[in-house]
Chain A
Amino acid sequence: MAQLICSDVTLGYEGKTVTENLNFEVNAGDYLCIVGENGAGKSTLIKALLGLKNPMSGTITTGERLKSTEIGYLPQQTLIQKDFPASVKEIVLSGLLNKCGLRPFYTKEQKEFAKKQMERLNIAHLSSKCYRELSGGQQQRVLLARALCATGKMLLLDEPVAGLDPKVTKEMYELISSLNKEDGITVIMVSHDITAAVKYASHILHISHTPLFFGKKEDYIKTDIGKSFTEAMGGEE
Chain B
Amino acid sequence: MAIIEKLWQYLQFEFVQNALVVGVLIALCSSLLGVTLVLKRFSFIGDGLSHVAFGAMAVAGILGLTNEMILVMPITVIAAIVLLAAGKNVKIKGDASLAMLSVASLGIGYLLLNIFSSSGNVSGDVCSTLFGSTLILTLSKFDVCLCIVMSVIVILIFVFFYNRIFAVTFDETFTAATGTKASLYNLLIAVVTAVIIVLAMNLVGSLLISALVIFPALSAMRVFKSFKKVVICAAAVSVICSLTGILISIMASTPVGSTIVAIDIVVFMIFALIGRR
Binding site for B on A (CB under 8 A): 50-52, 67-69, 71-73, 75, 78, 80-81, 83-87, 90-91, 93-95, 97-98, 100, 104-106, 128, 130, 132-133, 146, 150-151
Which of B18-26, B140-148, B221-229 forms part of the interface with chain A? Answer: B221-229
Closest to B160 in A: A104
A19 to B230, CA, bound (A): 44
A35 to B75, CA, bound (A): 49
> When the two chains form their complex, are residues B177 and A95 in contact, meaning their CB atoms are under 8 A apart?
no
A106 to B176, CA, bound (A): 18
Chain B: minimal CB distance from A2 (Å): 20
Q: Write 23 A-B pairs (CB below 8 A) sorted by A numbering.
A: A52-B177, A67-B179, A71-B178, A73-B177, A75-B174, A78-B173, A80-B39, A85-B226, A85-B229, A90-B166, A90-B170, A93-B163, A94-B166, A94-B175, A97-B163, A97-B164, A97-B167, A100-B163, A104-B160, A105-B162, A130-B226, A132-B225, A146-B174
> When the two chains form their complex, are residues A86 and B227 in contact, meaning their CB atoms are under 8 A apart?
yes
> When the two chains form their complex, are residues B170 and A91 in contact, meaning their CB atoms are under 8 A apart?
yes
> When the two chains form their complex, are residues B225 and A130 in contact, meaning their CB atoms are under 8 A apart?
yes
Which of A80, A85, A94, A95 has the most C-beta atoms of chain B within 10 angstroms of its own C-beta?
Answer: A85
B residues less than 8 Å from A98 (CB atoms):
178-180
Q: For chain B residues 156-201, which have a beta carbon within 8 Å of chain A? A: 159-164, 166-167, 170-171, 173-180
Closest to B164 in A: A97
> When the two chains form their complex, are residues A133 and B175 in contact, meaning their CB atoms are under 8 A apart?
no
Looking at chain A's contact residues, is the secondary structure mostly helix, strand, loop, or mixed?
Answer: mixed
A residues less than 8 Å from B160 (CB atoms):
104
Given known A80-B41, A94-B170, contact A69–B163 (CB-CB < 8 A):
no
B residues less than 8 Å from A51 (CB atoms):
177
Given known A69-B179, A90-B228, contact A104–B163 (CB-CB < 8 A):
yes
Chain A: minimal CB distance from B64 (Å): 43
Chain B: minimal CB distance from A87 (Å): 4
Closest to B224 in A: A85
A104 to B158, CA, bound (A): 10
A124 to B175, CA, bound (A): 23
Closest to B223 in A: A85
> When the two chains form their complex, are residues B161 and A73 in contact, meaning their CB atoms are under 8 A apart?
no
B residues less than 8 Å from A100 (CB atoms):
163
Contact count band on B: 20 to 34
A48 to B7, CA, bound (A): 63
A residues less than 8 Å from B39 (CB atoms):
80, 84-85
B residues less than 8 Å from A146 (CB atoms):
174
> When the two chains form their complex, are residues B177 and A85 in contact, meaning their CB atoms are under 8 A apart?
no
B residues less than 8 Å from A87 (CB atoms):
225-228
Q: For chain B residues 208-230, which have a beta carbon within 8 Å of chain A? A: 221, 224-230
> When the two chains form their complex, are residues A104 and B161 in contact, meaning their CB atoms are under 8 A apart?
yes
> When the two chains form their complex, are residues A90 and B226 in contact, meaning their CB atoms are under 8 A apart?
yes
> When the two chains form their complex, are residues B170 and A71 in contact, meaning their CB atoms are under 8 A apart?
no
B residues less than 8 Å from A80 (CB atoms):
39-41
Given known A71-B178, A85-B230, contact A52–B173 (CB-CB < 8 A):
yes
> When the two chains form their complex, are residues B178 and A69 in contact, meaning their CB atoms are under 8 A apart?
yes
A67 to B224, CA, bound (A): 38
Given known A100-B163, A106-B163, contact A128–B226 (CB-CB < 8 A):
yes
> When the two chains form their complex, are residues B178 and A84 in contact, meaning their CB atoms are under 8 A apart?
no
Given known A71-B178, A73-B177, A85-B230, contact A133–B171 (CB-CB < 8 A):
no
Chain B: minimal CB distance from A67 (Å): 8
Given known A71-B177, A73-B177, A97-B178, contact A84–B170 (CB-CB < 8 A):
yes
> When the two chains form their complex, are residues B226 and A86 in contact, meaning their CB atoms are under 8 A apart?
yes
A69 to B174, CA, bound (A): 11
A73 to B175, CA, bound (A): 10
Closest to A104 in B: B160
A67 to B162, CA, bound (A): 26
Chain B: minimal CB distance from A185 (Å): 15
Chain B: minimal CB distance from A47 (Å): 8
Q: Which of A69, A71, A85 makes the CB contact (< 8 A) with B227?
A: A85
> When the two chains form their complex, are residues B163 and A68 in contact, meaning their CB atoms are under 8 A apart?
no
Chain B: minimal CB distance from A93 (Å): 8
B residues less than 8 Å from A84 (CB atoms):
39, 170, 227
> When the two chains form their complex, are residues A75 and B171 in contact, meaning their CB atoms are under 8 A apart?
yes
Chain A: minimal CB distance from B172 (Å): 9
A68 to B227, CA, bound (A): 29
A75 to B160, CA, bound (A): 27
A residues less than 8 Å from B230 (CB atoms):
85
